[in-house]
Each structure stands twice: as C-alpha cells, then as structure tokens.
Amino acid sequence: MKLPNFKLSITKTKGAQTVFRLSSFAVLAAVIVLLFPRYNNAFRYHFEIGKPWGYTTLTADFDFPIYKTEEQLAKEQKQLLSTFAPCYKYIRGVQRQVLVVSLQDMEWLQGESFSRISVMQGRVAKTYPLSEVYTPKSAYEHFGYDCAQNLVMDTALTKTLREKQLATLSPTHGIVQKGEKIIGKGEIVTDRTYQVLQSLRRAYDDESLGNKQRTLSVLGESMLVVLFLCLFVIYLYVFRIQYLRSSSTCLFFCLQMLIVIALACLALRFNLSVYLIPFAWVPILTRVFFDSRTALFLHFTTILITSIVVPAPVEFFFIQIVVGMVAVSSLSDMTRRAQLAQTAAWILLTQTVAYTAISFAQTGAWSAIDPWMYLYFFICALLTIGCYGLIYMFEKLFRFISSITLIELTDINSELLHTLAERAPGTFQHSMQVSNLAAEAAKTIGANALLVRTGALYHDIGKITDPLYYVENQTGVENPLLKMDPRDAAQVVIAHVTEGEKIARRNHLPEVIINFITTHHGTSLVRYFFNTYCNAHPKEKVDESIFRYPGAKPSTKEGAILMMADAIEARSRSLDDFSEESIAKTVNLMIDSQIADGQFAETPLSFKDVEDIRRVFISRLVAMNHHRITYPTLNK
C-alpha cells in the first residue's frame, strides 16, 4: 500500500509543478496587459510626420471635428486677446484727472500686448487707450507734478470677461464626415493629415464613444500576448523540453520579459523614447545561461509583445530583430567581461545603421532622420553593459552558473584548490588530468567543456580531509586501508564523496559543481574492497550496499563524461604497458562495466557519443603516456 501512495504523491508533485510553470506564463500575460498604456485603446494606429502610412486606407467611421493644434490655438488666443481691455476701478478719495496705475500693472499690460484698458464708472465701463495711462513716475515726467495711483485692477471682473471672450474661440476648424477618406496606404503623413489623425485619436478617446471599443481593444491585446507566449511555450515543448520542465528556468524567462516590457511601458507613459530600453538584455542573459536558439526565440517573443503598444511598430521590430541577432552572434560564449562591452559597441553600430537605412528606405530624405535617436542608441548601449550586474543577480536568485563564474572557479590559485594542491598533491594532479580528459571528450560530443573541466577540478575535493588514505597521496608510506576490514576501508573511501559535498557547501560552490562531486561515482561499487571481501568470504552472501557509493547517478552528459574520465585516469596509473592496445582495452573495460552497472541510464548519451568518448580517451591517454628517447651520457 505504501508504494502506490508514494507514486501518487510523486504524480501530484509533478502535476503541481506543471501547473505552476504554466501559471507563471499566464500570470505574465495578465500583468503585461495591465502594464500596457491605457491611452488610445480604440485607436491603435502609429504614425509620424514625413513617414509613409503603413496600414490600409483609412476612412472615417463617424463624423468628427478637426481640432486645432496647440500652436494654432495659442496664436488665435493671442490675436483675440489683443483687443481685450482689462478692467480697472477708481480708488476712492484719489484725484481722477489723470489715469495712473502701478508700475507692476503697466509692465504686465505691456508684456501681454494689451492696447487699452476699461475703467468702471459706476455701472458703465469706459475704454481708454494704453497711451493715456501713466505710472506715477511717467505722469510726473509728462505733467511736471506728482500724480498718485488712482486705478486698481478689478481682478474678478477681468478674469470673467477674459474667459467669456476666450470661450468664443472655437477649438476646431472643419469636420470630417463619415465615409470620407483620411489617408491611403503608402501615402506620406503631412502636417494636415497628421492633424486629422490626431483629431480622430482624440475622438476615439471621447467617453461618448462608450466602452465597447475599449473592451475589444483590450481583448485584442490580450489575445496577441497570449498567442506570442503560447508560441514560445510550444517552442520549449518541441525543442527544449528540459527547460520547460524546470520551474526556475520558466520563472527566469518570464522575469526577463516582464522587466524589459515593464520598462518599455514605463517609458511610453512618461513620453520617453522606447529606444532607451536595452532590449538586448533578454538575448544576452539567456545566451549566458542557456543556448543561442532559445535566446533569439525569447527575444523575438519579447519584441513582438512590445510592438503592440510602441509607436512605429514596424520600424521598432526591424531594429530590435537586428539587435537580437547581433547580441547573440557576438556573445557566443561569454568568458571575459570585455566581451559585454564589445557586444554593446556592436549593438550601437547596428542600431545606428539600421535606423538610418530604414529612414532612407521609407522616405528618401535626410529630413526623416531624428538626430536624437542616435543619442538614445548610445544611452541604450551603455545600459546594455549594465547587464553584467543582472548576470550576477540571476546567478544567485536562480542558482544558475555563467561561463565567467566557471572561469573564476578554474583558477588553481583560488584558496580551495590551493589547499587541495598542498594537502593532497596526488589528488590535485589526478584532478588536473581528469579535467583535461573530460574537457576534450565534451568538446567532441558537443557538451559543455568548460563546465565539465570545472567540475573535474573539484570532484575529489573531499580527499582533503584524510589525504593519506588515498594511494595517489602516499609516497613511501604503506596504505593504511590495507590493514583495515574491507567493509570499513570501503566506508572510508566512500566518505570522500559526502565530505566533498560538505566542503563545497562551506565554500559556497555552485550547486551544479556540487552535483559533480556527488555523482562522479554514481552508485558504483568500491570494487577493490568488494572483491577482496568476497574472496575472503566465499560462502557469505555479501551486502553490496556497504560497498556502494550513495549516488545519485549522473543525469547529464557532463556528469557521465566525468565519471568515465575519473575511473579511466585512475585505472591507467596501474598499467605497466602503455601501448595503444593496452590503453584501449582498459578504456573499453571501464566504460563497458559502468554501462553494464546502469550508471548512465539517466543521462542523454547516445551510442555515438559513447563511441566518440572512447576514441578521445584512448588517443589522449596514448599521447599523455608516450615514450621518450633515452639521452646518451657524455663519455669522459
């Protein structure tokens, strides 16, 4: 009864993880739609003066007025107010022979280009030209005697009359009737057409149109976002199913898209250029941790979603597609910090060329070039370099590992490897040889050579605890394990795996490197002591679990390569004959025994991979153990 319950719990766990991964994409879609700028929901056209109209012929679905531009309204308001007369009233008890206002009022009247004022006399207003109005100083200069200020502005009345006069100014000029053509496909957007299109946009924004268009617009956005995300999930299912089965990887993909799209929406809300946003972050980050194909597909998905809301979506999509291709191509394997700066430089150059080319292709005129765009591209390139900080953040957050980190871990002068070299020099040399063998084999079958090289350097780190128990560190000393019971000796040898894991965790090694330590022997037998004990107790039923490593078995090509290289390099040291035939026999025997023991059952190795690995190991071991000629002595 327990076994079925255990299987059921596993099934439920896997089902819950699947629901979680798919839910992360669903939540992403919902958040993206909420982040989209909510202006112009029904009017989804994007256009610029001097650029061709990229849509089908547009006709008016309803009557709407043509609104004047801000410049036109300001000019007409100025003309209208030039005839307006601000209202003043007399100050009681002050002589009225000369019209006198304060210096501040006079400066304001002249600054606003008013030509006259209106003075209230009872309930009647009388208008005077501004030339007949003085300040105390100008009145003295003109009449030769002091004149006190006798007029003060009636602010409330002036404001009321001014607003009433401005209200007579119409905000529109002309009307577009239903069915009237506005612009045809491919036609250049002129100033006049731009004004009509802006008026149509404003008409769509009018609440009088109701919420039907807005609802359908949001529905359309949601459908597009879901479609693009579904295509990406289908890509993962067909070509990268291992990524789709990892909750952390799915979250990583979703978080990348969310960050970049959110930044783009934020820029649009504050009327900033979307080209300030470093969309290259997505392909760069994905390429650092995963592969080029996935990086490009994720980038395409991100810019397709962003294209829904950006102005000039065709131009945006064209430029960003090129940016993604350049980012992935120039960053095939990031092993140096300088590569990121080089990639940013290539992206800057590419954006500049692509924008210039598409502007010329669309209009054929220099006037279509916006010089500010080149500044935006430069700022974007600088922000692209800031991706280095995100690499470190995502490494810690999702426990990924980048090539830069692997390079740093392979530094033999690091504290941990230096300790291994000092306390267990034989083990250190063995690890170096294994790393060379494993890296060469990984290159041959297309596995991650840098990863397996790094894992090989640390796989025996547990031998630091008791280095003299291992034969490679014994120089002229009798092996203490030979004096022990084979069962106890086997446990001592097995302990270097568990000790290695403890040391690795204390030194904060990445989880993927710790995985090499725990799986490099899989669940194999400590064959020497197992055979010794069986020979000494021929009639006893031996418990193999005492002599087996705790595992787990390797689950990756890199893990399997390390297991093979470790066993073969150790076995090769016991050979007396280093001929190619002898080495080939040893390699085949070790690999065949590991396959027969089921150690590679959980790895994606193919038969061809195994044969290629055999060939590499044989050729490398022959080269490592080649004979040299004997140098003659000098006869005296």
Q: pLDDT tens for residues 402-431?
A: 888 888 899 888 899 999 999 999 999 999
> Count of residues for the chain?
636
Chain segment 172-223, per-residue pLDDT in tens: 888 888 778 888 877 888 888 888 888 888 777 665 455 566 677 788 889 9
Q: Which residue has the higher pLDDT, 3 or 62?
A: 62
pLDDT range class, residue 298, cuts 50, 70, 90: very high
Q: Which residue has the higher pLDDT, 592 or 113?
A: 592
Distance CA 357, CA 48 (A): 17
Chain segment 495-510, per-residue pLDDT in tens: 999 999 999 999 989 8
CB atoms within 10 A of CB 580: 12
pLDDT range class, residue 6, cuts 50, 70, 90: very low
Mean pLDDT, residues 519-531 taken together: 92
Mean pLDDT, residues 99-113 taken together: 88
Which pLDDT belongs to residue 371? Answer: 86
Mean pLDDT, residues 366-392 taken together: 87
Which pLDDT belongs to residue 4? Answer: 40
The residue behind tokens 């040299």 is 628
**Model confidence at 124: pLDDT above 60:** yes
Collapsed DSSP state (helix, strand, coil) of residue 173 = strand
pLDDT range class, residue 332, cuts 50, 70, 90: low
**Model confidence at 449: pLDDT above 50:** yes
The mean pLDDT value of the chain amounts to 86
**Model confidence at 141: pLDDT above 90:** no
Task: For domain 403-624, give the CATH number.
Answer: 1.10.3210
Mean pLDDT, residues 235-245 taken together: 91
Check the CA dihedral 184-185-190-194 and report its sign: positive
Q: Which residue has the higher pLDDT, 111 or 223?
A: 223
- Of the candidate ranges 296-310, 346-360, 466-480, the one whose mean pLDDT is the lowest: 466-480
Collapsed DSSP state (helix, strand, coil) of residue 153 = strand
Which pLDDT belongs to residue 13? Answer: 63
Q: What Cα–Cα distance (Å) separates residue 478 from each residue in 430, 468, 472, 573?
A: 20, 10, 12, 18
Which pLDDT belongs to residue 322? Answer: 92
**Model confidence at 321: pLDDT above 90:** yes
Which pLDDT belongs to residue 41? Answer: 46
Query: pTM for this structure?
Result: 0.67
Which pLDDT belongs to residue 186? Answer: 73
Q: What Cα–Cα distance (Å) separates residue 325 from each residue in 129, 297, 332, 383, 384?
A: 71, 10, 11, 18, 15
Which pLDDT belongs to residue 9? Answer: 45
Collapsed DSSP state (helix, strand, coil) of residue 599 = coil
Mean pLDDT, residues 316-321 taken together: 92
Which pLDDT belongs to residue 396? Answer: 82
CB atoms within 10 A of CB 222: 15
Q: Which helix (H) or strand (E) holds 535?
A: helix 527-536
pLDDT range class, residue 320, cuts 50, 70, 90: very high
Mean pLDDT, residues 114-133 taken together: 86
CA atoms within 13 Å, Cβ hemisphere of 68: 13
Which of 194-208, 334-348, 351-365, 495-509 has the highest average model confidence (pLDDT)? 495-509
Closest to 459 measured CA to CA, from 527, 518, 507? 518
Question: What percentage of the chain exceeds 70 in pLDDT?
Answer: 92
Q: Which residue has the higher pLDDT, 52 or 136?
A: 136
**Model confidence at 275: pLDDT above 70:** yes
Which pLDDT belongs to residue 630? Answer: 60
Whether residue 260 contacts residue 218, with contact meaning beta carbons closer than 8 Å, is answered with: no
Which pLDDT belongs to residue 10? Answer: 40
Which pLDDT belongs to residue 3? Answer: 37
Collapsed DSSP state (helix, strand, coil) of residue 154 = coil
Which pLDDT belongs to residue 213? Answer: 64
Q: Where are the domains of the chain?
A: 18-38+214-398, 71-166, 403-624
Distance CA 495, CA 581 (A): 35
Q: Which residue has the higher pLDDT, 464 or 70?
A: 464
Whether residue 568 contacts residue 456, with contact meaning beta carbons closer than 8 Å, is answered with: no
